[in-house]
Chain A
Amino acid sequence: MRNKLLCTIMLLSGTCSLLTAQSPTDALMMPQHQICILGQYASGTWDEYWEGTNRRSNSNLGTFNTTNVMLMANYGITDRLNIMAGLPWIKNSSDSYLKGQQGVQDLSAWLKYRPLALSAGPGEVRGFVTGGVSTPVSRYVNDLLPLSIGLRCPTASLRAVFNYTFQFGLYATAQAGHTWRGRTTIDRDSYLYNNQLYYTDEVPVPNVFDASARIGFIKPRFQTEFWIERNACISGDDIRYNDAPFPTNKMEATVAGWFGKVFVTNQWAFHASVSKVLAGRNAGLATTWAAGSTYFFTVGE
């Protein structure tokens, strides 16, 4: 289950849960009355980042490391409607003398609906609509980017997913979404945004557009997939030269990756993924890998 919201929020930390299985952004659904529970460990690192559009290293920060442990659940209300939820624990550290940060981040929930599923030629075309919300579950430090584990703002998202799968297993998926992000509150009551001084502790966090394309091969016992995605804030300012990132920054990244999943039993699967940021703005040039396991079972039938 891939958490696009987190991906977007954590661009600078380079924390993307690189996983596709019954997620808000993919073309898979849980059948009615089935639940899957997923646990995943992801680790990302970067020692270069984009300050605005300028790619640089920073000897005071050194190498940035992030760890993300994610728990997710997905339930089939019907074959065409799923509800899912996710909660990550994140740990960020660097070579700097600044205190590394860790903690439980934001709770997300989504409804995923499949209005379209029909045979077309040698395969099937399907369409999905996903709506989601997220809210921080703890008062983590959000004004110490890139070490902060998140921006601590509420979000709401809406996205559409289209998929074509050949009967022999080859598939292609395209999706696009928009995430509205609310204000966050910082511990100081003035800050610069767009080079203007604001006298408040409330900080507007830019909204995000994201899109991805993926090509893969899926069989009952395994799945493999290559993907590319683009996350971009719609507004925001750049990190000022030689200053730290801030929640108002216009963060952008283009990321490419691979994902693979194997079922060891009918109920139990393992997955792994790896990805790399190819281009960015106010973002870390992160390389991330992830591994996890999913358990499937039926309830209330």
Chain B
Amino acid sequence: MKKLHFSYLALLCITAGVLFTRCSKTVDDPVYEPYPETSLDQAAGSWKTYVLSSADQFSLPAPEAPTSSAYLAEVEDLKRLAATLTDEQKDAAQFWGGNGVLRWHEIAREFAAQYNVPPNYNADGTYPWPDPANPTVYPRFPFCNPPYASRAFALLSVAQYDALVAAWNLKFQHNRKSPAHYDNSVTQQIPENDLPSWPSEDAVVAAASREILKFLFPGEKALIDAKSAEHKNSRLWAGANVQSDLDAGDSLGRKVAERIIAYAKTDRMGQANNQAGYQALKDAATSRGYTDLWVSQDIPARPPMLPYFGNVKPWNFTDSVKVAIRPAAPPRAGSPEFESALDELRDLAKNRTSEQWRIASFWADGVGSYTPPGHWNRTACELIYEKTLNEIRSARALALMSTAVQDAGIVCWDTKYYYLLPRPTQVDRNVTTSTGIPNFPAYTSGHSTFSAAAAEVLGYLFPDHAAEMDALAKEASNSRIYGCIHFRFDCEVGLESGKKVGSYAVTRGKNDGAE
């Protein structure tokens, strides 16, 4: 009997040991390590800008020569600093030393997730709406829903890109290299290259990103300022820039960002939440012969999400092109095509497989997530890191993709509020979902449109990943059928529409001077 005790106890101890190993709380986050850049892109100063009229729209006073006493004094300051670095400063040098463009997108994705919660209803059944003038008062500004996020990533990418084109133009005009080039006793803590250091591309990115993100997430100003200061200082701690490289870069990045913000104030986003105008959209849909219009599935009914986002100014084509490429009308309730799509969902709601659950959850990108545009932003950043693109090519890739993703949002929202097709659950309450039902009409699927546009651009930028990107977009699209959030035709037409939208950004990419 004693022996039996022992074997039971041993069994329990072993099981406990195995479980305890699995009980570890450590979770792994990806790391962006510094890498040597593959190209200098000397001609990037002539690449086509988005908002700036040209790369030399803003000028800076010329830098001091590397032989000047002012410059030599800056290098001495750098060497003194190198002798006093703390571990935190060394870590920051590595953290920002990889690719600052990617770091700022990481910050933007975190804000997107933090601010992606719809406001709760009031006691009287109404809903509060965030006030940009009081961003920290509940409901905080912004409610970073997918359209808002798509525009945020586009504005951030465009600001970074335009600012870097302007910086590259100045870099190769003045050709002042990094301090280690002129003084052997400066040890650079991150990989060196021949890119001129004035104005600092990192300071340009830090300043442009800082100003744009403070405009988009005004409640986060203190944190954004601190990140920007750390990014710039990290270049001193890494021994990669002198102070005047950073000052010039900051000045340029800020000026470009101010120009982008001026553009953003006139892109008609300010009217996107025009709830008073919603009746006009419903009347227009009714006049087109549609009677079974979408209604909010929230209790109490929530005002529709950004009914006029479809009217926001697109990046890669005109308003009239947007109307021309608007998808044709969806099948309406009662038609055989509609009923067969509904039957598919009735069946899925009852018999969803665990693989369908997994796909529906993986791509849900709902409340508290960085949204579908954030999901594709992350995918783009991972490809950029894999291909070790330099800052300006990173910003170009992100600008091409992010503008296409916002354009996809605009075309999709225009379509949604043009046809006002109900969600499947509105038509049949038995169609239970695997995730929250978004508060806007079904046709076309936002996930499908965003994803196809992103995949089209990423496939162009990274041809060896083109098939993979298409497969991801298709899976993202299918996820909405599996979740019973969308009819199959919402998704299939959304994919086609997104691909078309993406092709406009690809055309721009082929003609922006970077090929």
Contacts and interface: CB of A to CB of B under 8 A. Distances in A.
A266 interface: no
A97 interface: yes
A98 B12 contact: no
Interface stretch (B211-219, B236-244, B274-282, B425-433): B425-433
A187 B361 contact: yes
Interface in A85-135: 97-100, 109, 111, 131, 133, 135
Contact of B434 (A81, A144, A186): A144
A97 B24 CA distance: 35
A111 B110 CA distance: 45
A265 interface: no
User: What 8 A-B pairs are tightest by C-beta distance, nearest first?
Assistant: A182-B23, A187-B361, A204-B25, A242-B120, A99-B432, A197-B110, A59-B299, A154-B19
Interface string B389-432: 00000000000000000000000000000000000010001001
A190 B30 contact: no
B30 A199 contact: yes
A155 B18 CA distance: 11
Interface in A132-176: 133, 135, 139, 141, 143-144, 154-156
12 contacts: A97-B425, A97-B429, A109-B15, A111-B8, A141-B434, A154-B19, A182-B25, A187-B361, A190-B113, A192-B114, A240-B117, A242-B120
A133 B22 CA distance: 12
Contact of A100 (B23, B120, B432): B432
Given A188-B361, A242-B117, A243-B367, A139 B23 contact: no
Interface stretch (B95-103, B314-322, B351-359): B351-359
A155 B12 CA distance: 13
Nearest to A154: B19
A111 B24 CA distance: 23
A159 B378 CA distance: 45
Q: Among A60, A83, A109, which residue has the most Cβ atoms of chain B within 10 A?
A: A60
Interface of A: 59-60, 77-78, 81, 83, 97-100, 109, 111, 131, 133, 135, 139, 141, 143-144, 154-156, 180-183, 186-192, 195-200, 202-204, 240-244
A189 B362 CA distance: 7
B515 to A, nearest CB: 32
B114 A83 contact: no
A186 B352 CA distance: 17
A180 to B, nearest CB: 5
A154 B22 CA distance: 7
Q: Among B27, B357, B367, which residue has the most Cβ atoms of chain A within 10 A?
A: B27
Contacts of B357: 141, 187
Nearest to A155: B19
B36 interface: no
A77 B19 contact: no
A183 B20 CA distance: 10
A192 B361 contact: no
A204 B27 CA distance: 7
Interface string B1-12: 100110011001
A156 B21 CA distance: 11
B433 A99 contact: yes
B28 interface: yes
B138 interface: yes
B92 interface: no
A99 B434 contact: yes
B369 A188 contact: yes
A192 B12 contact: no
A109 B22 CA distance: 17
A58 B384 CA distance: 43
Q: How large is the interface on B (under 10, 10 to 19, 20 to 34, 35 or more residues)?
A: 35 or more
Contacts, number: 130
A181 B23 contact: yes
Contact of A200 (B24, B27, B367, B432): B27
A152 B365 CA distance: 21
B29 interface: yes
B18 to A, nearest CB: 8
Contacts of A144: 361, 434-435
A188 B24 contact: no
Contact of B138 (A100, A182, A195, A241): A241
B367 A156 contact: no
Q: Among A77, A187, A191, which residue has the most Cβ atoms of chain B within 10 A?
A: A187
Contacts of B434: 98-99, 141, 144
A135 B16 CA distance: 11
B447 to A, nearest CB: 14
Given A77-B5, A83-B8, A190-B378, A131 B16 contact: yes
Contacts of A240: 117, 368
A244 B121 CA distance: 15
A178 B177 CA distance: 60
A3 to B, nearest CB: 17
Contact of A183 (B22, B120, B352, B435): B22
B189 interface: no
Contacts of A198: 27, 29
B192 interface: no
Contacts of A77: 1, 4-5, 8
A145 B296 CA distance: 23
A186 to B, nearest CB: 7
Interface in B325-370: 349, 352, 354, 357-358, 361-362, 364-365, 367-370
Contacts of A135: 19
A254 B5 CA distance: 36
Contacts of B23: 154-156, 180-183
Contact of A182 (B1, B19, B114, B368): B19
A273 to B, nearest CB: 28
B356 to A, nearest CB: 11
A183 B369 contact: no
